[in-house]
Structure 1
């Protein structure tokens, strides 16, 4: 029994050592990748190349559009939020040249009725009923809306100038539509930032999206735009020039520009704009109070909902993206696509790190009972550990800085404390996405697992009140 226990302790030490090497090396590679993006951002920021625009937005919402603008909103069982979304969008954007197309299914009368109720008789709302029973997929619903829009163009003889994508839970910014209208003159695709709304009743799950989007849309997308690489679309707060969508339809030879077998059709469409020779722009603008013009929304507040949503992102971007988009010849594009597709492997490395933490704690406990030798790392391993510690401190500092800029120092502190929560969700989502992808390799169709939405920001505060609340949090008042 003693010999077997001794061998077990030896095996435990060996596993720890191998895990430490694997996790330490790949953590460091990932940290170097992130540090390269940080360095580009900081250098360009210091040289004044990445200044966020500041403009007077007080009356910008009243500006007339340069042409007809269509907002597409695909839905499935969104009766809890769609009325607030439609009512707020129509109120925030009073322009006569706006049309909001809400895609519904014939077996979803609740969403249809709620959308009409939210419009309050405003003729700028257009309900599009899908002939198929729902749910099909988000891309399929968008293609049905696109077909209805094209039919309206033929019927009225008036062509759409700009198509904007939004989800059923979004709260739009009053200045967003005029800004997109102006920006689309110089680009075929324009993306505005997304800012998740902090959730007081879900500080650890629902609010962890705040720091992720604050850093991704405050640094990652900014660097991609500065490097002139293809920009992925977030699927909300993004605008496409109408002729570019028509070109996508021509290239695909289908009835719509959206890839109906893709789980992240928005991400793919944004990159395909660059492949088609179109110009892309990521637009960051602040108003007089310093608040970012962005799309705001609540994100899943339960761990199950967050894992489902993120597994769909990993499946569509990292796994399907490899199959559907391949790689680019440009170094910058290849680098960014590699970053996009690291999700499953990053989940494996994170899992290895947490497993190492558990095994290390077990070894420490065993040594308290005199089992196992004292661990003495060699110089190389010690350097690896210290570099990883330093990189973690740097990453935590960057996360705090970008979160604080948008939400205030208190939320920035929470963002650092939520790092383990983000990691655990990433591990669970990576595993789920991998198994879902394996099922598609065996012939199963990709499954659209739509995120459930129960509340909308406009239910609790007017737009001005919410922006004031975020301003107070951002300034620490």
Structure 2
């Protein structure tokens, strides 16, 4: 077999491998889309035709009194923590809550920034050791501080999680106060803020969260799977936190986990406790739901590092730590969560095949005795995948348009290529880091807070 024949055979085999894998993933995504559409039609015909829609500001008072503890872990956050706390206090108003802010002794600038906020509702908690450790370790020390504060204020009703760069919604606590009685944990949507200086890197986060928190989590709940928490804009009922702690030597958050938020939702579900995703407008007439907003990474390196932490914690460590449990819906969703490394392999194979075909076509156009052809099996795969890819791009564009407008919806289509490149690089980094030993550390990215809110 000549060298040219080997290249032709390699290109076809790579294309067949990638095409078969893409088809399986596309059918998997199509099943999620169809369930979402069916659920919307069913709820529109049955639930919303009989009961009025709920709005955050019209929810009744909670039956059980008590206060909420908001946990905000902070490492190297001196640039954002003070405006974030100031804005959060302003937006939450005079509600019954406390903000527990964790910081480290070897990060004095963050501690100094926290001290600028002179408000009794802000409780600064300095950890007993230098950082960075993991965010989960910081959260465990905030939990210890909460128990001390509860001796003075009485038992809290729930723990709310936020990051140091979050822009909270004024109606958020109203939802948590009222609905946390029904479930063990509750997650609100997360909406990345657009960055005009990073339309492609930061913009792809908006596309992904628009679809994930507009559709994916809705379907998870519909098929009976646990809702994973995003680590921000979520609340965990106080007794559920105690149950988590009882199973882990008194620590509700797994100290070595890099995705402790994701794991908590699944751990609660495995205990038979209900988790809920809530998309609810604040007032009648509002187009958007109550959500947490914030800036996401704007550079390729930062995005790759963040995605590598997610992939490593969910697809690699999560597989080892959480295994495969629950019913069919739960196992299906765990499979979807963990398909990232295989998806990256398929994308590499697909791009490699495309590059080889382009080279062969150019060589043929320049007069080389090469006649690259597509076999019947591959042609069927390409046609099916082209059809399903068109559907996939349309779905993403619709969800992005609903969240950010028509122009961003159009940009979401070419941003799929950006997302693919980031995913491939992130999987490579995640696999490299997964085999390392030693204490886990907080692999965080630099944060910014909206200037119009941070004054």
| 1:467 equivalent in structure 2 | none
Residue 65 of structure 1 contacts residue 97 of structure 1 at CA under 8 Å; is this kept in 2?
A: no
2:268 alignment partner, one of 260, 273, 298: 273
Say whether residues 1:393 and 2:390 are aligned partners.
Answer: yes
| 1:42 equivalent in structure 2 | 37
Separation in 1, partners of 2:363, 2:295: 45
Change in Cα spacing, 1:241 to 1:260, as seen in structure 2 (3 Å) is same
Separation in 1, partners of 2:95, 2:23: 54
Shift of 1:93: 0.7
Say whether residues 1:253 and 2:246 are aligned partners.
Answer: no
Shift of 1:102: 0.3
Change in Cα spacing, 1:109 to 1:447, as seen in structure 2 (3 Å) is closer
Which deviates more from structure 2 when the two are superposed, residues 22-31 or residues 347-356? 347-356
The DSSP-based 3-state class of the residue aligned with 1:46 is: helix
| 1:106 equivalent in structure 2 | 105
Say whether residues 1:203 and 2:199 are aligned partners.
Answer: yes
Say whether residues 1:325 and 2:322 are aligned partners.
Answer: yes
Shift of 1:58: 6.1
Residue 65 of structure 1 contacts residue 95 of structure 1 at CA under 8 Å; is this kept in 2?
A: no
Separation in 2, partners of 1:145, 1:394: 45
| 2:452 equivalent in structure 1 | 460
| 1:141 equivalent in structure 2 | 138
Residue 188 of structure 1 contacts residue 241 of structure 1 at CA under 8 Å; is this kept in 2?
A: yes
Change in Cα spacing, 1:65 to 1:204, as seen in structure 2 (3 Å) is farther
Shift of 1:85: 1.1
Separation in 2, partners of 1:348, 1:333: 24
Residue 62 of structure 1 contacts residue 94 of structure 1 at CA under 8 Å; is this kept in 2?
A: no
Separation in 2, partners of 1:96, 1:367: 72
| 2:426 equivalent in structure 1 | 429
Ranges in structure 2 where 5+ consecutive residues have no aligned partner: none
Shift of 1:116: 2.5
Which deviates more from structure 2 when the two are superposed, residues 339-348 or residues 91-100? 91-100
Separation in 2, partners of 1:368, 1:159: 76
Change in Cα spacing, 1:334 to 1:59, as seen in structure 2 (3 Å) is closer
The DSSP-based 3-state class of the residue aligned with 2:232 is: coil
Q: Deviations over 1:263-313 (max 9, x none)?
A: 100100111111112111100012332122100000000000000000000
Equivalent residues, number:
449
1:160 alignment partner, one of 152, 156, 159: 156
Residue 22 of structure 2 contacts residue 385 of structure 2 at CA under 8 Å; is this kept in 1?
A: yes
Separation in 2, partners of 1:444, 1:359: 41
Separation in 2, partners of 1:176, 1:80: 24
Please give the residue correspondences for 1:330-349 in structure 2 after superposition, counting only pairs within 5 Å: 330-349=327-346
Residue 244 of structure 1 contacts residue 273 of structure 1 at CA under 8 Å; is this kept in 2?
A: yes
1:297 alignment partner, one of 280, 283, 294: 294
The DSSP-based 3-state class of the residue aligned with 1:48 is: helix
Residue 9 of structure 1 contacts residue 371 of structure 1 at CA under 8 Å; is this kept in 2?
A: no
Shift of 1:56: 5.1
| 1:86 equivalent in structure 2 | 85
| 2:115 equivalent in structure 1 | 116
Shift of 1:157: 5.6
| 2:173 equivalent in structure 1 | 177
Shift of 1:358: 1.5
Residue 56 of structure 2 contacts residue 174 of structure 2 at CA under 8 Å; is this kept in 1?
A: no
Q: Deviations over 1:410-439 (max 9, x none)?
A: 110011121100000000001110111122
Separation in 1, partners of 2:88, 2:15: 51
Change in Cα spacing, 1:230 to 1:60, as seen in structure 2 (3 Å) is closer
1:365 alignment partner, one of 355, 362, 365: 362
Separation in 1, partners of 2:15, 2:445: 36
The DSSP-based 3-state class of the residue aligned with 2:150 is: helix
Residue 77 of structure 2 contacts residue 110 of structure 2 at CA under 8 Å; is this kept in 1?
A: yes
Which deviates more from structure 2 when the two are superposed, residues 302-311 or residues 430-439? 430-439
Residue 60 of structure 1 contacts residue 175 of structure 1 at CA under 8 Å; is this kept in 2?
A: no
Q: CA RMSD in A?
A: 2.2
2:8 alignment partner, one of 10, 13, 19: 13
Shift of 1:353: 1.3
1:242 alignment partner, one of 238, 241, 244: 238
Separation in 2, partners of 1:378, 1:356: 14
The DSSP-based 3-state class of the residue aligned with 2:125 is: strand
Shift of 1:380: 2.2
Residue 139 of structure 1 contacts residue 258 of structure 1 at CA under 8 Å; is this kept in 2?
A: yes
Separation in 2, partners of 1:368, 1:27: 29
Say whether residues 1:414 and 2:408 are aligned partners.
Answer: no
Separation in 2, partners of 1:53, 1:203: 38
Separation in 2, partners of 1:322, 1:421: 27
Please give the residue correspondences for 1:17-28 in structure 2 after superposition, counting only pairs within 5 Å: 17-28=12-23
| 1:451 equivalent in structure 2 | 445
Change in Cα spacing, 1:55 to 1:115, as seen in structure 2 (3 Å) is farther
